């Protein structure tokens, strides 16, 4: 029997990429799902791909940057289920621009989703995780929460913030019924670069995706499987992909000079969104 069988999971950003792959795998294991995404079309696509129709699935279009909407969703689930067992704050977006070129609107948009969305999802669902016999909170940071990368200042800031927030929370909840995991994926083949804002205006979404795929080595399915295993094993930190493990190692060995060992990633790259 799969660990998640009979459990209830909440996933944000479930309409594409890692979130969609998580939804499909957890559904196949018999885990009931509450799925949200800002894109109703993305959610519909995820629903159409779910294999098991005998397992409960509740889609809920939602902007994770909307604090009131996140809390209303959690309240609705509280009435419906009374508790949740797994919460995965996964929704995220990219923005590529040097600091001098960055505008506030895009930086605030990104922080609203990639940082505040994680904070809202955490605070809104912690009371429901408390009601679980064994709760799991998973926040998705990035390898860009381990190193700084030119043109990624806003994304870096959000992902470093998610890491700090999650590591602090993990210690606060040590010894409680809630296990906390911070995930740092390397390059994962998803739609993140296609949907990203900023970058070279001459590049189309397809161009950005093609550039990104040169670096992204891991599939969303593999990333999701590793996250689900990390939940089962109560891992506190998960690095996904050989690139993530390498970046983690060199950022600790060479905290200033790591850029010298990262050609292609740490150079200015309009498609670099991880």
Helix (H) / strand (E) element for 26: namely: helix 17-28
How far is Cα 205 from Cα 219, in angstroms, rounded to an integer? 19
- Tell me if 166 contacts ligand NAD by CB under 6 A: no
Other beta carbons within 10 angstroms of residue 172's beta carbon come to 11
Cα distances (Å, whole numbers) of residue 182 to 30, 54, 230, 267:
24, 31, 10, 26
Contact status: 270 vs ligand NAD (CB under 6 A): no
The 119-138 contact track toward ligand NAD, x by CB under 6 A, reads --------------------
Taking the complex as a whole, the smallest distance from the CB of residue 157 to ligand NAD amounts, in Å, to: 13
Contacts of 56 (CB under 8 A, 6+ apart): 32, 33
- Binds ligand NAD (CB under 6 A): choice among 59, 121, 135, 187: 187
CA atoms of 165 and 187, how far apart (whole Å): 22
Least CB distance to ligand NAD at residue 79 (A): 22
Q: Is 142 in the site for ligand NAD (CB under 6 A)?
A: yes
120 an active-site residue?
no
* Interacting span for ligand NAD (CB under 6 A) from 11-19, 128-136, 201-209, 254-262: 11-19
Shorter beta-carbon distance to ligand NAD: residue 113 or 119: 113
Measured CA to CA, the distance from residue 71 to residue 68 in angstroms comes to 5
**Using rule CB under 6 A, residue 38 touches ligand NAD:** yes
Tokens (6 digits) for 135: 């709760």
Which strands form 135-140's sheet, in the order they lie side by side?
57-61, 32-37, 8-11, 86-89, 135-140, 178-185, 237-240
The contact pattern for ligand NAD, residues 46-65, with x = CB under 6 A and - = no contact, is: ----------------xxxx
The one catalytic residue among 155, 165, 246, 258: 155
Task: Provide the 8-state DSSP code for 97.
Answer: B
Restricted to residues 82-111, the positions that interact with ligand NAD (CB under 6 A) are 90-93
The interface with ligand NAD within residues 188-247 (CB under 6 A) comprises: 188, 190-192, 195, 216
Q: In this structure, what DSSP letter does residue 135 have?
A: E
Task: Give me the active site residues, please.
Answer: 155
Contacts with ligand NAD by CB under 6 A lie at 12-13, 15-19, 37-39, 42, 62-65, 90-93, 113, 140, 142, 185, 187-188, 190-192, 195, 216, 274
């Amino acid at each position: 029997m799969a660990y998640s069988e009979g459990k209830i999971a909440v996933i944000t950003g479930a309409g594409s990429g890692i979130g969609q792959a998580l939804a499909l795998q957890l559904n196949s294991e018999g885990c009931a799902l509450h799925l949200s995404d800002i894109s109703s079309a993305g959610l519909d696509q995820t629903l159409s791909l779910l294999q098991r129709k005998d397992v409960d699935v509740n889609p809920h279009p939602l902007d994770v940057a909307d604090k009131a909407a996140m809390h209303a969703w959690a309240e609705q689930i509280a009435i419906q289920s009374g508790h949740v067992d797994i919460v995965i704050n996964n929704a995220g977006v990219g923005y590529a621009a040097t600091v001098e070129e960055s505008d506030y609107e895009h930086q605030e948009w990104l922080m609203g989703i990639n940082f505040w969305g994680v904070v809202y999802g955490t605070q809104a669902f912690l009371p429901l995780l408390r009601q679980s016999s064994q709760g799991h909170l998973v926040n998705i940071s990035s390898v860009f929460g381990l190193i700084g990368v030119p043109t990624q200042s806003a994304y870096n800031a959000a992902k470093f913030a998610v890491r700090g927030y999650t590591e602090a929370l993990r210690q606060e909840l040590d010894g409680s019924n809630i296990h906390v995991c911070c995930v740092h994926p390397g390059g994962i083949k998803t739609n993140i670069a296609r949907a990203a804002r900023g970058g070279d205006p001459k590049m189309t979404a397809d161009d950005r995706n093609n550039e990104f795929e040169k670096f992204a080595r891991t599939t969303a399915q593999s990333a999701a499987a590793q996250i689900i295993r990390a939940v089962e094993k109560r891992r506190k930190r998960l690095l996904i992909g050989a690139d993530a493990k390498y970046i983690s190692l060199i950022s600790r060995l060479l905290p200033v000079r790591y850029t010298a060992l990262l050609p292609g990633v740490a150079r200015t790259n309009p498609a670099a969104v991880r």
